[in-house]
């Protein structure tokens, strides 16, 4: 009984770690569902193989010496040792290879170019027929029921793009463009994570993928393409006085920097600092004052010299950029 309770606890512990917004087992896209199915079939195939080979092994070793006919011995060796593994492994391999091209199938028109930076993501949307991108950052939005093509680039070092709930993982390599496509099915928020070691804050390089109904996505993209409605006032004055616009762009204002993430509609994003902080006033204040404390190696300087009131005003202005 104790053994069974232990086994139950072990299975519970393992399966508890398998769900959530960043899991292939909470699949919300055609590609993740396919990977999920592949994993299940591979697992079942491997278990069957293991059980039958061990069964044969036990069967053979428990017989007394000399009590097994030559014919039976040959059947066990050829059937169990060669034919069975060959059939199972060959069919699993060919099925696995056959579904690989699906993960890069052509899309329905929308292209998104994602560039891995240290330690955040440039996200540029190219709607069908347009050459001018809608520039965004640190969040990927996609329409449900449509296949979106994704081009992956990298700044200075390698990264890897992976949203387990939506599909497979693809490396991002400096000087090269890699491609994949995703077809989300269920609207919702899926968490993505950089999956290739890229430096001190590799583990802190995440991003939400937000899947919207098609009409809702179209409305959002139109709003994202529009310039910021930046309220004038103290917050804006501090932003320009401190030179934030040298690194960040806020379309509709003179800020046109390309070193850091585009902030045009930062207030409408679900997270701050590439997936590691909630998008809220307090987090914005702490991040601006001491970015390095949250993300070692980040290029964003600390603005701890600003007064509490100045930080609040700046954070409020950024929050208003919706």
Burial of 97 (0-12, 13-18, 19+ CB in 10 A): exposed
Cβ at position 294, least distance to ligand CUA in Å: 16
Select 39 or 197, whichever has its Cβ closest to ligand CUA: 197
Does position 197 bind ligand CUA by CB under 6 A? yes
Which of 198, 204, 238, 300 is in the footprint of ligand CUA by CB under 6 A?
Answer: 198
Select 127 or 199, whichever has its Cβ closest to ligand CUA: 199
Cα separation, 107 vs 82, whole angstroms: 42
Cα separation, 193 vs 205, whole angstroms: 6
Does position 196 bind ligand CUA by CB under 6 A? yes
Which of 205, 210, 298, 300 is in the footprint of ligand CUA by CB under 6 A?
Answer: 205
Does position 194 bind ligand CUA by CB under 6 A? yes
∠ CA 79-83-84, nearest 5°, is: 85
Q: Kindly state the tokens that stand for 31.
A: 């590609």
Site string for ligand CUA, 143-182 (x = CB under 6 A): ----------------x-----------------------
Cα separation, 106 vs 147, whole angstroms: 8
Select 110 or 198, whichever has its Cβ closest to ligand CUA: 198
Cβ at position 114, least distance to ligand CUA in Å: 11
Question: CB under 6 A: which stretch of 10-18, 59-67, 175-183, 197-205 binds ligand CUA?
Answer: 197-205
Cα separation, 94 vs 64, whole angstroms: 40
Burial 194-224, CB ≥16 within 10 A → b, else e:
bbbebbebbebbbbbbbbbeeeebeebbeeb
Which of 28, 29, 107, 116 is in the footprint of ligand CUA by CB under 6 A?
Answer: 116
Largest CA distance in the chain: 95
Question: CB under 6 A: which stretch of 95-103, 183-191, 192-200, 286-294 binds ligand CUA?
Answer: 192-200
Does position 59 bind ligand CUA by CB under 6 A? no
Question: CB under 6 A: which stretch of 11-19, 76-84, 190-198, 207-215 binds ligand CUA?
Answer: 190-198
Q: What is the DSSP string of 189-233?
A: EEEEE--S--STTGGG-EEEEEEE-HHHHHHHHHHHHSPP-PPPS
Q: List residues near ligand CUA by CB under 6 A.
A: 116, 119, 159, 194, 196-198, 202, 205
């Amino acid at each position: 009984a104790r053994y069974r309770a232990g086994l139950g606890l072990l299975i519970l512990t393992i399966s508890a770690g398998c769900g959530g917004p960043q899991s292939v087992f909470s699949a919300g896209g055609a590609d993740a569902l396919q990977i999920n199915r592949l994993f299940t079939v591979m697992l079942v195939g491997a278990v069957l193989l293991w059980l039958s080979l061990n069964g044969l092994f036990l069967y053979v070793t428990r017989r007394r010496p000399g009590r097994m006919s030559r014919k039976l011995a040959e059947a066990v060796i050829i059937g169990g040792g060669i034919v069975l593994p060959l059939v199972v492994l060959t069919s699993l391999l060919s099925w696995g290879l056959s579904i690989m091209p699906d993960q890069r199938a052509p899309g329905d028109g929308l292209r998104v170019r994602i560039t891995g930076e240290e330690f955040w993501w440039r996200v540029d949307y190219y709607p069908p027929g347009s050459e001018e991108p809608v520039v965004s950052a640190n969040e990927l939005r996609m329409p449900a029921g449509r296949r979106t093509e994704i081009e992956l680039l990298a700044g200075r070092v390698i990264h890897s793009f992976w949203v387990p709930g939506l599909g497979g993982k693809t490396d991002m390599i400096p000087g090269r463009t890699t491609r994949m496509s995703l077809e989300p099915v269920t609207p919702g928020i899926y968490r993505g994570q950089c999956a290739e070691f890229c430096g001190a804050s590799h583990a802190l390089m995440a991003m939400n993928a937000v899947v919207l109904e098609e009409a809702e996505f179209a409305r959002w993209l139109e709003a994202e393409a529009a310039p910021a409605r930046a309220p004038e006032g103290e917050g804006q004055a501090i932003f320009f006085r401190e030179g934030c616009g040298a690194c960040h762009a806020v379309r509709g204002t003179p800020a046109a920097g390309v070193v850091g993430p585009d902030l045009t509609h930062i207030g409408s994003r679900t997270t701050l600092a590439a997936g590691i902080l909630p998008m809220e006033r307090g987090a914005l204040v702490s991040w601006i004052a001491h970015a390095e404390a949250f993300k070692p190696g980040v290029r964003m300087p600390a603005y701890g010299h600003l007064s509490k009131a100045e930080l609040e005003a700046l954070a409020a202005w950024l929050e208003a950029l919706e």
